[in-house]
Amino acid sequence: MGYSLEEFDEQKTKVMKFLVYKRRTEQEVRNKFSNSIEPNMLEDIIEYLKEAQYLDDVLYIEKTINNFKTLKNLSLVEVKNKLFSKGLDKNDIEDYFYDNQENLNEYERKSIRNIFYKKQRDMDLDEIKQYLLKKGYKSDNINMVLEDLEI
């Protein structure tokens, strides 16, 4: 072990404050505290937090995507890239996307609709399509939305 219970509790409290402020990934915790907490203790703290469900990367993926759905218009490619940038496990992300395919495609189509309505004043149809494709939107979803809008 190599450290006292008091030291463990003190460092665990620091990490908990970091987590309470904003939901974080395991990788973000490691990055933040790797220089200030002894490695064995940090591993033990992370294990403790996982068991107590304060640190759960799969739940983080779900909550983050739900936030995006509420607040942002993103392509599924952009969503994945934002999740990858947080140091999340590729398999966890892919599993979530696989299990929630229909729901995520509906979100992407809703985002396309929102962007289309915003951009139609300033851009013609081809420019909007190119913009959406550059952002990573699936052409199937773009075409489906444009058909629904009868454009």
Mean per-residue pLDDT pooled into runs of 10, the chain (151 residues) = 90 95 95 96 97 96 96 97 96 98 97 96 95 97 92 72
SS3 66: helix
pLDDT of residue 151: 72
pLDDT of residue 149: 86
pLDDT of residue 2: 83
- Residue 141: is it exposed, middle or buried by C-beta count within 10 angstroms (0-12/13-18/19+)? buried
Instruction: Identify whether the C-beta of residue 59 lies closer than 8 Å to the C-beta of residue 85.
Output: no
Q: Domain limits of the chain? A: 5-55, 58-148
pTM, 2 dp: 0.88
